Structures are given as C-alpha cells and as structure tokens.
Chains A and B, each alone.
Chain A
Amino acid sequence: MSSLDDSPSMVLITRRDLKLSRGKLAAQCAHAAVKCALRARSRKARLVERWSKSGARKIVLECEDVKQLLQLKEQAKEAGMIAMLIEDAGHTEIPAGTITVLGIGPAPKSSIDDLVKHLKLVN
C-alpha cells in the first residue's frame, strides 16, 4: 500500500477467539461493511462518495476478544468515527447474540491507522 495514498478507509475487526469459518467470517464482515456504509451515507455523504470512488478500501483485522472489540468501538466513537457492531442471529456456528465484528469508517486513513495500528491482519 503506497504511503501517499490517504484516501478514506474502512476496517472490519474480527474476533480471533471465535475461530469462525471463512464463509461465516466473510458474511459477518459484509454485514458490518454494509451497516457502516449505509449509516455513513446518511451522515457523511461526501466522505462515502470519496471512499467509493477511491476503491472503497476495506481492511480485515483481528483482535483478541469481545472486550477489546468494545474498547475499540468506544475509542472510534470518541474520535467521531462511525463504528458499528454486528451481533449474530445465531443460525449457524455460534450462539445468538454473539458480537462478531466491529466495522469502523469510512474515515480518513490516518485517523483509522492511529486507532488500529497495533492489530494484525487476518490471514
């Protein structure tokens, strides 16, 4: 990723401790991405447009557990960013009501980086 590229970004933060299958993880991330995008569209329309036009960057990261996820959500909100949690309906794999993913953004890449630079990419 080039360093001069400061176009808006979205991060989807997953929980390592849930050990979700790749299909489940993908669906949960998609929930978060859509929820964030729709929320942002009504509140920060121009930002969403810039984000879409610059490739709608999404980065999938992982954290340890739900405690860390909730902490990150608070930090993102305090910084004025859109932050949406996804709770699973529990049709498959995990109990209903499990918090699976936190979506943050779209927001300026630099502000997101400050918040999540200590997290690892999901491989």
Chain B
Amino acid sequence: MGLRSFIHHLTAPAITSTVPAGRYRLAIVVNTSLKMKKGKIAAQVGHGAVKAALKCAGNNPACMDAWLSSGQAKICLKGVDDEQLLSLQQQAKDVEIQAVSIRDAGRTQIPAGSLTVVAIGPARDEDLEPITGALKLL
C-alpha cells in the first residue's frame, strides 16, 4: 500500500452496506446432460463456488459476510441441459442475484467450451426458491 492510499484507508468513511437478514446459500446447478463422472462434477462445482465467492467478496462484501455466517451453505442441484442452465442464470440476473457460469477447458471427459455448472447466489433462501425450487438435489 502506498502512503497516499494508506492515509485514505485511515481517513475514508467505512463502507456500510447491509443486506436483509436470513439464511444465505449458494445454489450450484450441474449440467447432467454432459454425463460427467463424480470427480469431474466435484471439480466443476468447486470452480463455480470459488468464482461465485471471489466475485461476491469483491462486489457485495455484506452479502459475502451473510453467507459466511450461514456456514457458507452450498447446495448442488440437477440441471437438465445448457438451455435450462442459461435460463436459470438469466432468471437470477433479472432479479439481481449473482449468477456465474463455468465453461470447461475440455482437457478431460467433455468437449472444450461445454457449460458445466451455473452457480446462483449467495442469496437468501427465499429469494433463491422461485428460481431453483423445482430442481432436484444432485
């Protein structure tokens, strides 16, 4: 940190943003049409979770804190195909819930560029429900 930014850091008002109380979770929807194996799924879900967490920590720290206090809850759900995953992502974005997608580099098992998972949230349970409520657990 430079001197100027250090002084700024000391004197700038704290960023106070709040988010509604509740249980926060991250829903990770897996594209089952790709027929990935167990280890591959775990790695892709890991990609989705890390991408969502780092993005949320940068853009919405209050939401990140709320999620961490909920034990960084994650839930893995079964998605049908690309089309469904993209539509879920859009639905989330329409209501301003963060949604990130993962495309695979294609080094193993599946073609490069395949849409493997969409991670929706972290968001409150009741805000996720209308989007992901109909999906089955993986």
Contact = CB atoms under 8 A, between A and B. Distances in A.
A34 B76 contact: no
Contacts, number: 92
B28 interface: yes
Size bracket of the A interface: 20 to 34
Nearest to B119: A30
A94 interface: no
B111 interface: no
B80 interface: no
Contacts of B71: 89
Given A12-B46, A123-B39, A26 B75 contact: no
Given A30-B28, A30-B49, A60 B72 contact: no
Would you call the interface of chain B mostly helix, strand, loop, or mixed? helix
Nearest to A103: B46
Given A25-B42, A29-B43, A29-B45, A55 B72 contact: no
Minimum-distance CB pairs A-B, first 10: A122-B39, A23-B138, A30-B49, A33-B46, A26-B45, A29-B42, A60-B39, A23-B76, A26-B42, A60-B42
10 contacts: A24-B76, A27-B45, A27-B76, A30-B42, A33-B49, A34-B53, A41-B54, A89-B71, A122-B38, A123-B37
